[in-house]
């Protein structure tokens, strides 16, 4: 998920004008042959003029149930924080192995389901059982906390994607420290993060982050289905 966060952060800060994806969801985050996550499906992407606070194209309400920012749904005005909200839902799907909308037995948002359990400190009841304990508990808690911040009801309380990138990088470091044997060859998480930061500061226009092949270790040994 680190690389997909990098891709979204590039859309928000590396493009001129900034771009809003508007349809961030699990099925739009794909893995390549090296299990590197890539953002896909830009059919609903919109440009945003921050100087004039206006969208550059005709505004049309479009979203996937379970992933939509409630502010966007109410105002029909997408912002970069709308993408942040949707990305938080995807993070919860990654941690729990559950869909964005659960039948529990009534249809329930994964956000509500996870918040209730995490408020009680029940991380074991939240993490995907298929992980079988193969994770750093501090790293998973941090990912869950990031997800809950991303899915805050008000957009002002949500982090930026730049904040999310930095915090997920810390999660990668925790996982690397727990099980270095998982990661063979290639560069370390620090090397890749520094390479990304350098690329952003020198020439973001010619080197898009979602196409840059940074080799960041996955957070779990099991890569899961290909459309995650």
Q: Under a CB-based contact definition with an 8 Å cutoff, are residues 6 and 209 in contact? A: yes
In a 13 Å sphere around the CA of 69, the CA atoms on its Cβ side amount to 30
- Work out whether the CA dihedral 187, 5, 90, 118 comes out positive or negative: positive
Report the alpha-carbon distance of residue 200 to residue 112 in Å, rounded. Answer: 35
Closest CA to 151 of 94, 66, 211: 66
The catalytic position among 23, 69, 83, 136 is 23
Q: How many whole angstroms from its chain centre is CA 48? A: 20
Active site residue 83: no
Catalytic residues: 23
């Amino acid at each position: 998920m680190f690389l997909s966060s990098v891709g979204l952060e590039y859309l928000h800060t590396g493009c001129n004008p900034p771009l809003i994806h508007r349809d961030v969801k699990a099925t739009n985050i794909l893995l390549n042959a090296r299990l590197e996550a890539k953002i896909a499906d830009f059919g609903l992407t919109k440009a945003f003029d921050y100087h004039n606070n206006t969208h550059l194209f005709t505004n049309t309400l479009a979203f996937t149930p379970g992933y939509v920012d409630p502010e966007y749904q109410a105002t029909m005005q997408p912002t970069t924080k709308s993408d942040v909200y949707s990305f938080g839902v995807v993070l919860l799907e990654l941690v729990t192995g559950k869909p964005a909308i659960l039948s529990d037995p009534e249809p329930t948002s994964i956000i509500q389901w996870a918040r209730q359990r995490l408020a009680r400190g029940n991380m074991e009841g939240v993490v995907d059982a298929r992980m079988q304990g193969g994770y750093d508990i501090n790293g998973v808690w941090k990912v869950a906390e990031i997800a809950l911040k991303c899915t805050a009801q008000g957009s002002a309380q949500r982090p930026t994607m730049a904040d999310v990138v930095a915090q997920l990088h810390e999660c990668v470091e925790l996982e690397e420290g727990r099980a270095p044997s998982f990661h063979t060859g290639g560069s370390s998480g620090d090397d890749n993060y520094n390479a990304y930061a350098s690329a952003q500061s020198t020439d973001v226009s010619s080197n898009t982050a979602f196409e840059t092949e940074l080799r960041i270790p996955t957070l779990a040994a099991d890569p899961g289905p290909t459309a995650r």
